[in-house]
């Protein structure tokens, strides 16, 4: 049971890391306030189900849309600001939204919000149900990102990440694509939030604080930015770590920070990124095995 | 002759600095126009204005008879204005092949819809390979653009411009910083483009190159046109010689 609860949490982190990776990894935009959109999804779904009696299955796509629409706002900001300034602004957005949750009575203010577990074919959804749900959402997201990487959309984001001036000289409407990347990434974070709210059955503003944003970013960077496997493995690694090293939990942020610095110095591609030590050796090993087999066949 | 580009009374001021100050230029189909002038004459600014990177303070630009000044950079690209950059700007962390494929997609970047259209279709990759062969980059197709030397990056710039299949190719100092050998290769490439009937604008500091490649040359100084004519006429123009020798004797 405990294991399944941890797995669902890690699943939510995976979804968050994958969604942030669209903005930061593929489109190359600084985003240090991702937890805000996680929160927007969570509160949207919580308010819809608890205050207005909607079903979870309706609030899920609505959370997706509301986060995405607020994400468009962030995209509009990214047109005006770049790099460090954008990073600072996104931090600010995170604080403003958390403050809204904390002080507005509409969002339960400092009491937080209690959320009901949803019904599924007449049965109350249990923890395994969440695990299945989050796994399905992750698989769909991965498929979607995989598809994106092979499309003109993905190529447009790559161009923008490298050089906006060049991108526009290739006929890419840079502003439009930035907004799209932000709204896609934030919308997926919204789904993660909705699942989180109903899984935890209680949400509070500090669940979506700036430190959570940093945690998500650490997962992406440590795993391997700009790949699909990177954020997934990063989220598993950093998501499982506090459970394994519970006695160390108070110092988690120090460890994250330290890891980030070490990664930037020695493996800027991330542990599992393209060109990283592990990936290189893995591919080499795979090639060696394959060669051997071919050799055997020839002999 | 068919007029591809016409610039009328173009002015581009940066605060008090008059980078371009009342410029009129015409460019005809299949012509190669050289733009020369000392440092700070406004050559690259002119390119940036034509490409939509900068909005002109005043004046009009016509592309194939259509008024286009103030249009944004991606719109100009879609209208068929391709450019290279003075300082090579490859898409560094993707392969040379992907760089060219990205340029081939000029009409595919439709926004959300483009998510559902595969970029590396066989047809597109074949087209990209053809361009890479022409520009001599075939062997490097899988290398990341950030990993090859400057000579190849210059060719990549031209390859990218070609992939757009442009109405007008604007080359901003394609030979700057190259060895003599690499310069000859780039010149050969430009000559090939000329033979194919492409319309080209070339900024080049190296006068012998401009003289060799261009049909007509415009000389800028302090944002104004001080001379215009065939390479021969320009060579013997006293004002041009003074502008160059008076400004900086590196060009002698």
Note the ipTM here: 0.83
Task: Decide if pLDDT at B36 tops 50.
Answer: yes
User: Least CA distance to A144: which residue of chain B?
Assistant: B115
Domain residue limits at A237: 2-266
User: How large is the average pLDDT for residues A250-275?
Assistant: 78
Return the CATH fold of B1-80+166-252. Rossmann fold (3.40.50)
Task: Decide if pLDDT at A70 tops 90.
Answer: yes
DSSP code string of B84-113: --SS----TTSBHHHHHHHHHGGGT--SGG
CA distance A129 to A125: 6
| CATH number of A136's domain | 1.10.3470
pLDDT: which is higher, A148 or A273 = A148
Q: Which residues of B touch A169 (CB under 8 A)?
A: 51, 73-74, 77, 82-83
- The answer to whether position A42 is within a domain reads yes
Question: Who among A147, A168, A170 is closest to B102 (CB)?
Answer: A170
pLDDT tens-digit profile of A84-138?
898 999 999 999 999 998 888 888 777 788 887 777 776 777 888 889 999 999 9
CB contact under 8 Å between A170 and B119, yes or no, is no
CA distance A203 to A192: 13
pLDDT of residue A299: 37
CA distance to A98, A155, B101, B163, per residue, from B104 (Å): 44, 11, 5, 5
- The answer to whether position A280 is within a domain reads no
Query: Considering only CB atoms, which residues of chain B are within 8 Å of chain A?
Result: 51-53, 72-74, 77-78, 82-83, 85, 89-94, 98, 101-103, 105-112, 114-120, 160, 164
Share of chain A above pLDDT 70, in %: 95
pLDDT of residue A142: 94
User: Least CA distance to B77: which residue of chain A?
Assistant: A171
Beta bridge partners of B220: B225
CB contact under 8 Å between A176 and B111, yes or no, is yes
Q: Which residues of A touch B93 (CB under 8 A)?
A: 158, 161-162
User: How large is the average pLDDT for residues B219-244?
Assistant: 84
- What lies within 8 Å, CB to CB, of A58 at 6+ separation is A48
User: How large is the average pLDDT for residues B27-49?
Assistant: 89
Residue to substitute from B44, B47, B49, B114, interface A, most A β-carbons within 10 A: B114
CA distance B74 to B108: 12
What's the whole-model pTM score?
0.86
Task: Decide if pLDDT at A190 tops 60.
Answer: yes
Task: Decide if pLDDT at A66 tops 90.
Answer: yes
User: How large is the average pLDDT for residues B106-132?
Assistant: 88
Point out the least confidently predicted range of A103-112, A165-174, B228-237.
A103-112
CB contact under 8 Å between A151 and B102, yes or no, is no
Query: Considering only CB atoms, which residues of chain A are within 8 Å of chain B?
Result: 147-148, 150-156, 158-159, 161-163, 165-174, 176-177, 180
Question: Who among B53, B77, B111 is closest to A171 (CB)?
Answer: B77
- The answer to whether position A287 is within a domain reads no
pLDDT tens-digit profile of A269-285?
777 777 777 777 777 77
pLDDT of residue A297: 46
- The answer to whether position A229 is within a domain reads yes
Rounded to a whole number of angstroms, the CA Rg of chain A reads 20
Domain chopping of chain B, boundaries: 1-80+166-252, 90-165
Number of domains in chain A: 1
pLDDT tens-digit profile of B183-205?
888 888 888 888 888 899 999 87
List of E strands, A174-250: 202-203
Report the Cα–Cα distance between both ends of chain B, in Å, rounded: 35
């Amino acid at each position: 049971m405990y294991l399944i609860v941890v797995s669902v949490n890690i699943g939510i982190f995976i979804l968050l890391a994958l969604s942030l990776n669209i903005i930061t990894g593929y489109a190359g935009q600084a985003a240090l306030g991702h937890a805000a959109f996680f929160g927007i999804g969570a509160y949207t779904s919580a308010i819809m189900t608890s205050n207005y009696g909607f079903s979870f299955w309706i609030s899920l796509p609505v959370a997706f849309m509301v986060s995405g629409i607020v994400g468009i706002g962030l995209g509009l900001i990214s047109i005006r600001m770049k790099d460090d300034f954008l990073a600072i602004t996104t931090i600010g957005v995170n604080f403003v939204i958390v403050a809204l949750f904390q002080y507005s009575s509409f969002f339960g203010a400092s009491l937080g919000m209690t959320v009901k577990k949803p019904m599924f074919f007449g049965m109350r959804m249990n923890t395994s149900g969440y695990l299945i749900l989050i796994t399905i959402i992750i698989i769909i997201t991965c498929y979607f990102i995989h598809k994106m990487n092979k499309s003109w959309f993905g190529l447009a984001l790559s161009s923008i990440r490298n050089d906006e001036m060049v991108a526009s000289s290739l006929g890419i409407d840079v502003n439009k694509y930035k907004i799209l990347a932000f709204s896609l990434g934030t919308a997926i974070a919204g789904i993660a939030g909705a699942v989180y709210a109903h899984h935890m059955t209680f949400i509070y503003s500090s669940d979506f604080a700036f430190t959570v944003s940093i945690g998500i970013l650490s997962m992406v960077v440590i795993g391997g930015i700009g790949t699909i496997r990177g954020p997934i493995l990063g989220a598993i690694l950093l998501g499982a770590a506090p459970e394994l090293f519970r006695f160390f939990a108070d110092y988690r942020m120090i460890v994250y920070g330290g890891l980030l610095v070490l990664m930037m110095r020695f493996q800027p591609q991330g542990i599992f990124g393209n060109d990283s030590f592990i990936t290189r050796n893995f591919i080499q090993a795979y090639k060696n095995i394959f060669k051997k087999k071919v050799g055997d066949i020839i002999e | 002759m068919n007029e591809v580009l016409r610039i009328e009374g173009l002015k581009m001021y940066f605060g008090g600095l008059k980078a371009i100050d009342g410029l009129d230029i015409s460019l005809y189909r299949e012509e190669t126009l050289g733009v020369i002038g000392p440092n700070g004459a406004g050559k690259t600014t002119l390119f940036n204005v034509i490409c939509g990177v900068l909005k002109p303070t005043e004046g009009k630009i016509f592309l194939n008879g259509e008024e286009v000044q103030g249009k944004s950079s991606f719109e100009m690209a879609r209208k068929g204005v391709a450019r290279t950059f003075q300082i090579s700007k490859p898409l560094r962390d993707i392969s040379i092949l992907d760089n060219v494929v990205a340029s081939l997609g000029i009409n595919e970047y439709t926004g959300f819809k483009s998510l559902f259209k595969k970029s590396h279709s066989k047809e597109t990759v074949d087209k990209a390979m053809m361009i890479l062969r022409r520009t001599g980059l075939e062997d490097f197709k899988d290398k990341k653009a950030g990993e090859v030397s400057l000579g190849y990056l210059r060719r990549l710039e031209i390859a990218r411009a070609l992939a757009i299949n442009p109405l007008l190719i604007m080359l901003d100092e394609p030979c700057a910083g190259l060895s003599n050998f690499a310069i000859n290769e780039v010149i050969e490439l430009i000559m090939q483009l000329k033979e194919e009937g492409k319309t080209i604008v070339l900024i080049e500091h190296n006068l012998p190159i401009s003289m060799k490649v261009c049909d007509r040359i415009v000389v800028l100084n302090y944002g104004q046109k001080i001379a215009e004519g065939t390479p021969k006429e320009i060579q013997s123009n006293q004002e041009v010689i003074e502008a160059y020798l008076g400004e900086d004797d590196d060009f002698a």
